[in-house]
Amino acid sequence: MKIAICASEVVPFAKTGGLADVAGALPFALEDAGQDVIIIMPKYKSIQEPKFKISKVRQGASYSTIGKDIKVYFIENEAYFNRDSLYGDKNGDYPDNLSRFSFFSRTALDLLKEINFKADIIHVHDWQSCLVPVYLKTLYKDEPFYKKMRTVLTIHNIGYQGLFNREEFPKLGLDWGLFNMEGLEFYGKVNILKGGMIFSDIINTVSEAYSREIQGKEFGYGLEGVLAKRKDDLFGILNGLDYTIWNPQDDKFILENFSSADPADKHKDKTDLQAFCKLPLKKEVPLFGIVSRLAEQKGLDILSEAMEEICNMDIQLVILGTGDLKYHLILEEMVKIYPKVISLHLKFDDTLAHKIYAGSDIFLMPSKYEPCGLGQMISLRYGTIPLVFKTGGLADTINEKNGFIFDKYASRDLVDTIKKSIKAFKDKKKWKNLISVAMKCNFSWSASAKRYIQLYEKAKKK
Ligand code: ADP
């Protein structure tokens, strides 16, 4: 099959979250399974020679190669993409995001023809590439080159929909007839994700639990009705984890490598992390790690509420993340009061992330909702026991055997579960066993890629 993956971020070229991990890893697994894959993404400022080997396709388009022979095509536009960030800056989302990503989507379709890649499937991700299925079935519907192309939309997070004012609609180049309840209109605004959900042939989300949850009011963010109409075409496939990147056995970012067969050296990474974070070098104190966007979705509301009580326990906590200013301020305040308990790093730092996954004892991820979540899978591989709220992908991957899980979203329940984990940590034999079970969990991409291929086959028959 010929598969074109269109995504707004792809590891190793650009990343703000899990979408980039998926868009960068799934193609490898598809290629290994014998599929013909290309990727199309915007060319951001960070994508430059000599860091990446880049060749020209034409003025405005270039490519690099990853895997055995996966071409990653970059759509260029100085004004739209040559910026420091992907979607916004300290003032919020870039005001021209609708124009930026409609340009990306149309140019991606044009590029397929220019390079003569007659895709069986175009696999789009989140709202930023949702206009691809919309254009394919409207503006491009009579073009023979595109006739047999089918689309799969993966929703990584339904909370981000690409909402714009009605006045921007004409910039999409679509007929006003599409601006209604059956189309892209959403309470008087333009909703790009909704367009993708209506026009793509198959929809999936990144865990089975989340695919059920978003059909309900609580997690559907207003789109549950649209999904209800498409429920026969809606599936859930758990993301895999790229174990070539996340492997304690040959991780270059950590002090000591270790494996599930011999995890004894993990404690050296703990000491290294404590030293780096200027925390007391205490082996017997449980070290909690957080690597996360600092947003309510990630449980920062209940965590903030519980913070005082947590800091009064005999623990240490390393936090790496960026996000809402509100949480930056709350956490900075806590560090001032408890400098020997919390080490706070308000930035995006891949190296430190690896050190935290390897050096912590327990990984805190109390997300309010979590489409799939990678942090819990990564930490499992590093023998760092996840403590999570029972939702979405967290519920599909963590249970009493490999972690700690609570099922009422409240700070009290979070605190109680933390206490439970501390108690378990003190029982050396039990803890050793828990680490062993956690490290053996396997969420590799090959199983998920097989399921994606089945979805592509379904879409082809549409
Ligand atoms: P999201 O909802 O943000 O996509 P996921 O758990 O699916 O959450 O994926 C988050 C990914 O981003 C993980 O690989 C995590 O390690 C990484 N990450 C998040 N915040 C940071 C940060 N501040 N520095 C480094 N890596 C981070």
180-181-187-188 Cα dihedral, nearest 10 degrees: 0
Straight-line distance from the first to the last Cα atom of the chain, in angstroms, rounded to the nearest whole number: 15
What is the reported pLDDT for 38? 98
pLDDT class of 156 with cuts at 50, 70, 90: very high
CB 321 near ligand 1, within 6 Å: yes
State which ligand 1 atom lies nearest to the alpha carbon of 297. 2
State which ligand 1 atom lies nearest to the alpha carbon of 15. 12
3-class DSSP state of 66: strand
- What is the pLDDT averaged over residues 283-303? 97
For residue 205, which amino acid is it? T
Going by C-alpha positions, the residue among 36, 18, 100, 112 that lies closest to residue 73 is 112
State which ligand 1 atom lies nearest to the alpha carbon of 347. 23
Residue 153's DSSP bridge partners are 124, 203
pLDDT class of 356 with cuts at 50, 70, 90: very high
Centre of ligand 1 to C-alpha 160, Å, is 16
CB 322 near ligand 1, within 6 Å: yes
> What proportion of the chain, given as a percentage, has pLDDT over 90?
98
Centre of ligand 1 to C-alpha 122, Å, is 26
CB 266 near ligand 1, within 6 Å: no
Residue nearest to atom 20 of ligand 1 (CA): 292
pLDDT class of 134 with cuts at 50, 70, 90: very high
pLDDT class of 121 with cuts at 50, 70, 90: very high
State which ligand 1 atom lies nearest to the alpha carbon of 20. 4
Q: What is the pLDDT of residues 179-235, one digit of tens each?
A: 999 999 999 999 999 999 999 999 999 999 999 999 999 999 999 999 999 999 999
Q: Which residue's structure tokens are 């649209």?
A: 226
What is the reported pLDDT for 405? 98
pLDDT class of 37 with cuts at 50, 70, 90: very high
Residue nearest to atom 9 of ligand 1 (CA): 18
**Do the two domains 2-240+446-460 and 266-442 of this chain adopt the same fold?**
yes
The rounded distance, in Å, linking the Cα atoms of 48 and 40 is 16
Collect contacts of 111-116 with beta carbons under 8 A, ≥24 apart: 111/40, 111/57, 111/61, 111/73, 111/75, 112/4, 112/145, 112/146, 112/149, 113/143, 113/145, 113/146, 114/57, 114/58, 114/61, 115/57, 115/73
Centre of ligand 1 to C-alpha 294, Å, is 10
State which ligand 1 atom lies nearest to the alpha carbon of 370. 2
What is the reported pLDDT for 33? 96
Q: What is the pLDDT of residues 221-259, one digit of tens each?
A: 999 999 999 999 999 999 999 898 999 999 999 999 999
The CATH code of domain 266-442 reads: 3.40.50.2000
The CATH code of domain 2-240+446-460 reads: 3.40.50.2000
Q: Residues 299, 387: contact at Cβ < 8 Å?
A: no
pLDDT class of 450 with cuts at 50, 70, 90: very high
For residue 204, which amino acid is it? N
The pair of structure tokens assigned to 23 is 């868009």
Give how far Cα 365 sits from Cα of 39, 144, 335, 384, 450, Å: 31, 48, 20, 12, 28
**Which residues have a Cβ under 8 Å from the Cβ of 264 and sit 6 or more positions away?**
258
Is residue 273 over pLDDT 90?
Answer: yes
CB 46 near ligand 1, within 6 Å: no
Is residue 90 over pLDDT 90?
Answer: no
Domain boundary assignment for the chain: 2-240+446-460, 266-442
Residue 93's DSSP bridge partners are 88
What is the reported pLDDT for 18? 85
Centre of ligand 1 to C-alpha 353, Å, is 9
CB 289 near ligand 1, within 6 Å: no
Centre of ligand 1 to C-alpha 359, Å, is 17
Centre of ligand 1 to C-alpha 448, Å, is 20
Centre of ligand 1 to C-alpha 17, Å, is 5
Is residue 17 over pLDDT 90?
Answer: no
DSSP result, 375-444? HHHHHHHTT-EEEEES-HHHHHH--TTTSEEE-S-SHHHHHHHHHHHHHHHH-HHHHHHHHHHHHH---B
pLDDT class of 276 with cuts at 50, 70, 90: very high
